[in-house]
Structure 1
Amino acid sequence: MSTPAPGRVPDDTRLRRWRLVLGSAADPALGELTGAEDNAVDKALGALYDSPSGAGRSGSDRAGSLSGSAPRVARWLGDIRTYFPSTVVEVMQRDAVERLDLTSLLLEPELMEAVEPDVHLVGTLLSLNGVIPEHTKATARMVVSKVVKQIEERIASRTVAAVSGALNRATRTSRPKPRDIDFDRTIRKNLANYLPEQRTIIAERLVGYGRRAQAVHRDVILAIDQSGSMASSVVYSSVFGAVLASMRSLRTSLVVFDTEIVDLTEKLADPVDVLFGTQLGGGTYINRAIAYCQTLITRPADSVFFLISDLYEGGVREEMLRRINAMKEAGVQVVVLLALSDDGAPSYDRENAAALAALGVPAFACTPDRFPELLAEALDRGDLRHWGAEPR
């Protein structure tokens, strides 16, 4: 093939583009798509512009159909953000809302009552937040509120119990006042001093809790990646953030980021407000987000920093690693979660995860049910490396 003139698109590129535009209705002369990415792009286009049976395809007029399944729609939204620039994503989302059945599925109250809202559906609604008509946002908020309430019922009490236990252990004293004695632990510590003839235990060592109920014991910073693949993690993290913010013994900050950074700490009283303050999609500058979070840390030895991200960095990778290492060296307990969801093994940047592990900062996925346990261990400043690199 001859070299194309300057400024002219190569013939094979033009054929590839026409094949993607026309879909499977394309003339065989255009050839077949090769490579996983081209096929993924074609699949994403087909989900929006092709009918499942293939009927109605003629020329470039791809007839639209997309399943009403919320998880499938959520995956599709994640795919188009992966393979198309943000301006094209915006057009495709509007096409999905206007051309297909998404509006009636997601925004009509009578149909919404027949659909069981779940975290995937919330992620989809948040992804479409920018194109949802104003008069339908109340319906969207109703759905998000229902899911948030379900998540809170699932995790709130366990989280509060785990955090309280960890902080109580941190403030335990061996010289407690009488009203602060932990009798159960005191007895256990002094079993060797049992006097059978007296049927009593000599409490040579008392165990109790310090009375600092109103003090802030730990600072917790949650930095959440807003990229499309992290939708479920954004939902769960926001609810956890609200639960933690309700505890006076913690100072909780919540930051969401893509290429921009938004501090949503002031909205933590209402996790629904937090979620509608996010904007799923876009690029990912983890380094910039970490730089901002460093400004929030005033007590490194009493701080826990959670970075919740798939680690696909669009910024300066080396600087990101240096900042995380600097946090760790300063005494901050750094935890990197590749996902905080029930979705199974996540896709993530394995090179960056390995680099973090080399710094002594393991990266792993965590289910919401296990997060209270993880949080307690982090507040106890435990060694988290045994959690491994797979979902827990």
Structure 2
Amino acid sequence: MSDDRTRRWRLLLGGAAEDALAEPGAGEGRILDRDDAAMDGALSALYDREGTGEVGPRSAGLGASAPSVARWLGDIRTYFPTGVVQVMQRDAIDRLNLKQLLLEPEMLASVEPDVHLVATLLSLNKLLPQETLETARAVVGTVVEQIERRIAQRVRTAVSGAVNRAARSRRPKLRDVDWNRTIAANLRHYLPEHRTVVPERLVGYGRRQHVVGKDIVLAIDQSGSMASSVVYASVFAAVLASIRALRTSLIVFDTAVVDLTDQLHDPVGLLFGTQLGGGTDINRALAYCQTLITRPRDTVLVLVSDLFEGGAEDQMLARVAALVESGVRVVALLALSDDGAPVHDADNAAALAALGVPAFACTPELFPDLLAVAIDGGDVAAFAHRMEMGRR
């Protein structure tokens, strides 16, 4: 086995594999150099099966005490890239029940911020002491800024263009003529002898909207399994609220329903207004959303939920059917995150699909295009299919 492969196996399996991997006759410290040994120490603090002597892939089993965690956080940022650091932090917080450490501001300041850390902080926000709260808000603010930089311009371009296309004008100025649609609408006026179409009517793009063109309602399931989706959807809602041609509403729900629309100007404060965990009553949330809808044919309702309904399932499906019948474009997202397709209620997903509401997971990068398709009256199911084929 090559030296590099031996080294990698040694880091993967831990100290218990040292003798098994070593070349016969090699001396002490024969596989790892000084930097590797420091990296191995950081891995051992989190993953070694302490006291078992078992040789096998490392798995969660912490032997480190709380005071050493701050040093460990510094070590892993020294020896591993950011993506790996975030995975190790999640392992330490989730598998080893170290959430209590996030209540200490100096510890929190040492953690690499990411969406999963934000979700953890939001689940703890009622427990955060005042001295930690400001640090937590700074961490959340950093992640919100990262997400906004990642998606804001794309959202504004895709969605504003879709709103303008949806507001077609029958008497456009020359520069606003949509020639493709104009030709398609006037093909019966084709003159073969002149090899041209004489348009009886022009179809044009709408001018920049000075009034609200579309209503967007985002209803977000804030049960614990939807944590990353809550973070992304809240930031998207804040960006959408900045588009003058849209009226954006943000609803979060578990067994209760909370309207956070008046906080869309402050996405960090908005996120701290959520409360991750609890049950799920989609029917109740949809009932509230119905009270917000005054222009069904100009409304897109995005339901972000894994569809595990704790309320009245039949009523929930009947309510979706009524929304679709009234002209509302309903989109069901099983997740809005980078985490892939989640565990979800397949029966409810199939029932929604039968109502013309496909249920699928969507990444943050594709959400602006999805929303543009919905606003533009396009085929959301076909978009979902193309997206699924792209993943494969």
Q: TM-score, normalised by structure 1?
A: 0.70
Q: Distance in 2 between matches of 1:322 and 1:186?
A: 36
- Find the partner of 1:181 among 176, 179, 188: 176
Aligned to 1:135: 131
Of 227, 239, 249, which residue of structure 2 is paired with 1:253? 249
Partner of 1:24: none
2:361 pairs with 1:365: yes
SS in structure 2 at match of 1:208: coil
Q: CA deviation at 1:310?
A: 0.6
The answer on whether the counterparts of 1:51 and 1:64 sit within 8 Å (CA) in structure 2 is: no
Quickly say closer, same or farther: Cα 1:298–1:72, change in 2 above 3 A. Answer: farther
Q: CA RMSD in A?
A: 3.5
Match of 1:244 in 2: 240
- 1:122 Cα deviation after fit: 1.1
Q: Cα deviations across residues 307-356 of structure 1 (Å, max 9, x unaligned)?
A: 00011111111111111111111111000000001111211111111111
After TM superposition, give the deviation of residue 74 of structure 1 in Å: 5.4
> Is residue 259–residue 283 contact of structure 1 (8 Å, CA) maintained in 2?
yes
| Count of residue pairs brought into register by the alignment | 315
- Residue 154 of structure 2: aligned partner: 158
Deviation at 1:177, TM superposition (A): 3.6
* 1:322/1:260 CA distance change after superposition, 3 Å: same
User: CA shift at 1:72, angstroms?
Assistant: 6.4
Alpha-carbon distance change, 105 to 345 in structure 1, aligned in 2, over 3 angstroms:
farther
Q: By how many angstroms is 1:130 displaced?
A: 1.6
Aligned residue in 1 for 2:321:
325
Is the counterpart of residue 272 in structure 1 residue 268 in structure 2? Answer: yes
User: CA 1:312–1:151 in structure 2 vs 1: closer, same or farther (change >3 Å)?
Assistant: same
After the TM superposition, which residues 1-392 of structure 1 pair with which residues of structure 2 at under 5 Å, given as runs?
53-55=49-51, 71=87, 96-98=98-100, 101-103=101-103, 107-109=107-109, 111-112=110-111, 115=112, 117-177=113-173, 181-182=176-177, 206-211=202-207, 213-386=209-382, 387-388=384-385
Residues 186-241 of structure 1: per-residue CA shift (max 9 Å, x gap): 998899999xx9xx998776443334621111110000011111111111101110
Gapped regions of structure 1 (runs ≥ 5): 1-49, 57-61, 80-91
| Structure 2: runs of 5 or more not aligned | 1-45, 53-61, 74-84
Q: Deviations over 1:90-116 (max 9, x none)?
A: xx97xx444xx444588443x24xx2x
Q: How far apart are the structure 1 equivalents of 2:105 and 2:87? A: 13
1:71–1:120 CA contact under 8 A, matched in 2:
no
What TM-score results when the alignment is normalised by the length of structure 2? 0.70
The alpha carbon displacement at 1:364 in A equals 0.2
Q: How far did 1:366 drift?
A: 0.4
Q: Residue 254 of structure 1 aligns to a residue in which SS?
A: strand
**What residue identity is the alignment partner of 1:342?**
D
- Letter of the 1:385 counterpart: A
Query: Offset at 1:181?
Result: 2.9
